[in-house]
Structure 1
């Protein structure tokens, strides 16, 4: 019963979001952004509904979602840690930092810690090149990071 109610809520809320955007030029991205803002990810039911309403194939909608790395098909953890993988950060120790973070959290890219608190995402440039290596925790930028600084960030949100 709870799954049916959740599915109905997704369908109803997604329909309302589509109603707002479907008459705009290029409505797919605004719809996906609003659906993800509403649910924290883009549920499969919503993806199918979006494709149907916009007269797109499921593959077209999925292709757009997979092209833009910020879209998720599963809920993220309570906090999202995005670690820069671009050249400036790599040249100043970003690769080792990324390895340390994955080891310390016990997860790989696009995974969430078993307690559901932190999701780890790679990003390609946070615009903090002069303060490399950099990361973003829940939308807040942090630069000149080392393993201890990142662990402190993670501990603060846990």
Structure 2
């Protein structure tokens, strides 16, 4: 994991590129996360100073949107759909199984930094509920057994 001092020039470049844009906070946060994979906690102060906001205001926006991460993501990101169709097809059991199997909750990363687990609120795969993704690959009709197979295959692929 990189320390913030090595990431700070990247953050400052993103701030400079968006500083005069109306409604610039969200594009800045997206830019940082898209580039670094997360928003370092130490960047909040730089963002707040650049935009004349309080650190609490910046943190409030980061914590409000589930998309933003404040810790580095794992090698693979698993997203489990929590929309109505998936809930009707027992995605709660899949969520519970995933959390137990990985030993983490949503918005966390496994200690080996292999997997991050995130909720998502529709993958557009409602006909094949419950659905999830691993990185950019969508999977449907995911049972706990299928989840285990997908995770094992991901661990096996180097």
Q: Which whole-Å CA distance do the structure 2 matches of 1:55 and 1:122 have between them?
A: 32
User: 146, 149, 152: which one pairs with 1:149?
Assistant: 146
Q: Which whole-Å CA distance do the structure 2 matches of 1:126 and 1:67 have between them?
A: 20
4+ long deviations beyond 3 Å: none
In structure 2, the residue matched to 1:8 is: 5
Q: Does 1:115 align with 2:115?
A: no
Q: Does 1:20 align with 2:33?
A: no
Report if aligned partners of 2:90, 2:130 keep a CA contact under 8 Å in 1: yes
Report if aligned partners of 2:69, 2:107 keep a CA contact under 8 Å in 1: no
Q: Which whole-Å CA distance do the structure 2 matches of 1:61 and 1:118 have between them?
A: 27
Matching of residues 40-59 of structure 1 within 5 Å: 40-59=37-56
Report if aligned partners of 2:94, 2:144 keep a CA contact under 8 Å in 1: yes
Q: Please state how far the C-alpha of 1:77 moved relative to its aligned partner.
A: 1.1
Report if aligned partners of 2:11, 2:43 keep a CA contact under 8 Å in 1: yes
Q: Which segments of 5 or more consecutive residues in structure 2 lack a partner in the other structure? A: none
TM value normalised by structure 1: 0.90
Q: How many aligned positions are there?
A: 154
Secondary structure, in 3 states, of the residue corresponding to 2:79? strand
Report if aligned partners of 1:84, 1:133 keep a CA contact under 8 Å in 2: yes
In structure 2, the residue matched to 1:85 is: 82
Report if aligned partners of 1:10, 1:45 keep a CA contact under 8 Å in 2: no
TM value normalised by structure 2: 0.90
Report if aligned partners of 1:86, 1:124 keep a CA contact under 8 Å in 2: yes
In structure 1, the residue matched to 2:91 is: 94
Q: Does 1:129 align with 2:126?
A: yes
Q: Which whole-Å CA distance do the structure 2 matches of 1:92 and 1:85 have between them?
A: 10
Q: Which whole-Å CA distance do the structure 1 matches of 2:17 and 2:62 have between them?
A: 20
CA RMSD of aligned residues (A): 1.5
Q: Which segments of 5 or more consecutive residues in structure 1 lack a partner in the other structure? A: none
In structure 2, the residue matched to 1:62 is: 59
